[in-house]
A and B are shown apart, each in its own frame.
Chain A
């Protein structure tokens, strides 16, 4: 990468402020950034991590994308769900994914979730919350399954808490859950009710599916399908879509008249004769 002769130029911030002032005088407003008003969540279960997300992207009050993918790839064993400004989550996860790949090539090892977490939080803190990306990062590495939630200003939560973390691979892994986004309250309610430590994979998938469905049906910013990503040691199951909660309805009636509605009195068929065929070249200069 370059030495920082190249920086962000901030002059367009001034121009945007002037344009916004002018637009407000006329009564219009500037176009809104596309956000993923979202429900995303993650659960640590017995053998790994299940991440879930809805698939609606909104642009103000309009649905911009009915089936967008919110679970981003970071590394073969780490995936990240993103809420907030869609471009920010996309670019941030891609940059961290590239950096993590270079780092793992340099160390020669599978990357750790804590590394991805550290890189993300340092970058988000550097930009002081102006990058609107709220992320749920989950993965399985040599130390077991991990789940982090990362906020736009750069603070992170590791669930389970550090004091309860167990280094060995045996015995009980203290499991916990994390939600983020506008539909997160609905999803968190489902988690608080039905979460248990050491769940089986099917149970964890059902729990995440129900939590996302709660967000989809109770929050306007979330909708469409439910995507799941199950990460276990050595295997990743990216299920897209896991559940089509909002299928587009099928029309029950049709205004077109069926053939035969009008009675046919007589029928004459005329064959067209090809008399002449000419080719005219087009001027495509």
Chain B
């Protein structure tokens, strides 16, 4: 009699189907002490609404923990399930959270977070939250050299930095001439000059030069 009831409960607990295949690292989230996302990378598809919920839930789980407790956390209900764990580190104002499955070594992922942060530190020269706020794209490119499609790609920092610098060089090369005026403008904008400046006519470069291919 009771057992019958238990059975029906079990059936309710059967997990719903997943949209995309499970990966070893399911998501990488960086958010600040207030839960504002600074970088989100999901290696399994969730729609935007769900992503925000996951960020929120993860923040709630992580933020209530003291700094001197362990860096592993089970029980995120939205992301993963029993096989998945949250592994995080807290640096000053930022939380770096990796959601990983059991195929990853817990201590290994902690090291990976460290590598990630140290790489950021090297690339941005004393990285702070502002760097992540304004250069989230660059942070993504850096992350892409560490983790690919949810799998650890490279853990050697020198190698990672070489790759990133190579790509930066390539980008600068491409920007070349065409970017000069844009840079000037952004410099002007950065000075926060009043809007009138918009009325000043700046010499325009022919489009041909701009779209020069390298």
A and B from one assembly?
no
